[in-house]
Structure 1
Amino acid sequence: MTTPDGPAMLPVYYEVVDDALVFRTSPDAAPAVAVGTEVAFEVDHIDDAMSQGWSVLAVGRAEAVRDPDEVRRLDTRAHTDPGRGKDAHCG
């Protein structure tokens, strides 16, 4: 996401659901402020034993999921603590 001070990277617990990256956030948290803007999402993995690694970068528009049925559907798939941003989902 972009802030007045420039690009910002924030850690999130995420899921891939139906070709979308989704994660919980509260409405007043920094990731929620990015709703409606273009954002970048990066995942890295390093295998120390094999001295190998990879990165995946996705760019797209951040959207809030507000439909109660969709929020429930995403909650059933989530592997994170519902207390972390239980009021909204973004993806």
Structure 2
Amino acid sequence: MSASGGADPSGRPVLEELNHEQCLALISPGGVGRVAFDDGEGPTVIPVNYAVDGDAVVFRTSLEGRLHQSLATVLTGAAVRIAFEVDSIDPVRHEGWSVLLRGGGQELPDHERPASPAVEPWPGGERPVYVRLVPHHVSGRRLGHG
């Protein structure tokens, strides 16, 4: 189904806009996503392991990481503008989906960490900084054959 309500008669994949609930359902299993932010030198995108916590996304980073450095420069309680993207692509079938969340990223205080979902980073090394993105905008698209 396309956004206009019908399948493409040519048999080519159709792009469909996803609503808020569909987007959250697609990313709810957690996994790997990409965080985009300005690290002071320009736009930067890094992959992270994440978990979903209600409408928010939680992930971890190192104390030395660029994202933590950006978080450390804002006032206590303030948020850093970030975008978070997760996708699943099947290049053989020309199908897939992409979800984008935009909002404020904040370091999760120690007392809130036990209540947040578990996030296990893949790389070795310490990643003690928990970040929560509370989105003010959620959007997504799915490409499929109706």
What's the TM-score once normalised by structure 1's chain length? 0.78
Q: Compare CA radii of gyration and give the structure with the larger one.
A: 2
Name the structure 2 match of 1:90. 131
Cα RMSD over matched residues? Answer: 2.1
* Structure with a larger share of its residues in strand: 2
Contact map agreement 1:15 1:78 (CA 8 A) in 2: yes
Residues 81 and 4 from structure 1, CA distance in 2 versus in 1: closer, same or farther, beyond 3 angstroms? closer
Give the corresponding residue for 1:17: 53
User: Corresponding residue for 1:66?
Assistant: 109
Q: Is the 8 A contact 1:66 1:88 kept in 2?
A: no
Aligned mates of 1:50, 1:78 — CA distance in 2: 33
Instruction: Give structure 1 regions of 4+ aligned residues with deviation exceeding 6 angstroms.
Output: none
Following the alignment from structure 2 to structure 1, what is the Cα–Cα distance between the partners of residues 115 and 98?
28
Q: Aligned to 2:70, which of 31, 34, 46? A: 34
- Give me the identity figure in percent: 34
Do the aligned residues in 1 keep the contact of 2:39 with 2:67 (CA within 8 Å)? no
CA displacement at 1:11 relative to structure 2 = 0.5
- Is 1:8 matched with 2:44? yes
In structure 2, do the counterparts of structure 1 residues 88 and 5 end up closer, same or farther at CA, with 3 Å as the change threshold?
A: closer
Count residues in correspondence.
Answer: 87
Map of 1:78 onto structure 2: 118
TM-score, normalisation: structure 2? 0.52
Aligned letter for 1:33?
Q
5+ residue gaps, structure 1, are: none
